[in-house]
Amino acid sequence: MKKIYFSLLLFVVVLAGVAEGQVIKVISISNYTLDVKVGEKVAVKNTITVKNLIGSPIVPGIGEIRLQKRSPTKVLFFSIPFTENPGPVSVNGVRAYTGDGKQIPVNVTSEGDYTSIRYEIWYPVEPGREFTFVVEYESEELAERGILFSDVSIPVGSDMEIQSINARFRSASGWKMVYSGRAPDRLPAGGIAFYTAEFSPLPLPDVGIRWSVFLWSLVLLLSLVVFTYITKYGKKSE
């Protein structure tokens, strides 16, 4: 299965001096909302609110979202288990803007085996205050699609603490969400969590596991039972 890796980096400019050698928390993400719309493409909207934790104004500066896919090696039409090939993710429709709609400079580059979405925020954030911005993009490579199921798994991680995370998935094709993964609602600095959903045209209930995994496991189990039966009793009949 193809995996998508995500990381959020933010470089902060402090507008007043901090005592040399003093290690303090300068900024945190007080709220992170991940909106994912699944259709022919997967549209992702990241709404991020950062908070100034010190007694001096700060400028968030240059931030970066990294995306990387890891797909198994294929021979003809078959995927080789336990193999992974990292590579960049093709994205389009990329834009960034502040909470009140002002455009933020954004640039997309392919950095070898990952895609970098860099944005620049030069608005000062006063002590104790918050600043909200949005980064949006679309990609055809963020979902694993089949005849009956479409799986999306988007990780969230950051080099700073995320105090609150809210992930929302919805379908653009009318398919029903039949599985929603359980993930933490906050993350420590350096942490990472996967936010997962599965969609299907079938009216299946959310039973806490991926239906695609369950049905394929059931097919393999039944195939094994049939093979064992034929092997054991077929020879006796001869």
User: In whole angstroms, what separates CA 94 from the centre of its chain?
Assistant: 15
> 156 and 236: one domain?
no
Q: What is the pLDDT of residue 72?
A: 57
Nearest to 31 by CA among 8, 51, 57: 51
Range of the domain at 231: 209-238
Q: Number of structural domains, the chain?
A: 2
> 39 and 99: one domain?
yes
How would you label 216-236 residue by residue, b for 16+ Cβ within 10 Å and e otherwise? eeeeeeeeeeeeeeeeeeeee
> 148 and 195: one domain?
yes
> 82 and 174: one domain?
yes
> 143 and 232: one domain?
no
> 221 and 111: one domain?
no
DSSP H helix total and E strand total for the chain: 1, 18
Q: What is the dihedral of CA 51, 68, 211, 36, to 10 degrees?
A: 40
Q: What is the pLDDT of residue 22?
A: 46
Q: What is the pLDDT of residue 237?
A: 54
> 94 and 153: one domain?
yes
CATH code assigned at 49: 2.60.40
> 134 and 48: one domain?
yes
Please give the C-alpha separations between residue 106 and each of 42, 96, 117, 173, 203, in angstroms, as whole numbers.
20, 6, 7, 29, 40
> 150 and 202: one domain?
yes
Q: Locate 222 and state its tokens.
A: 């039944």
Q: What is the mean pLDDT of each run of 10 residues along the chain (238 residues)?
A: 51 47 73 93 94 90 82 54 71 94 93 87 92 94 82 84 93 89 87 87 82 71 73 62
Q: What is the pLDDT of residue 1?
A: 46
**DSSP code, position 223:** H
Q: What is the pLDDT of residue 52?
A: 92
> 179 and 226: one domain?
no
Q: What is the pLDDT of residue 102?
A: 94
> 14 and 109: one domain?
yes
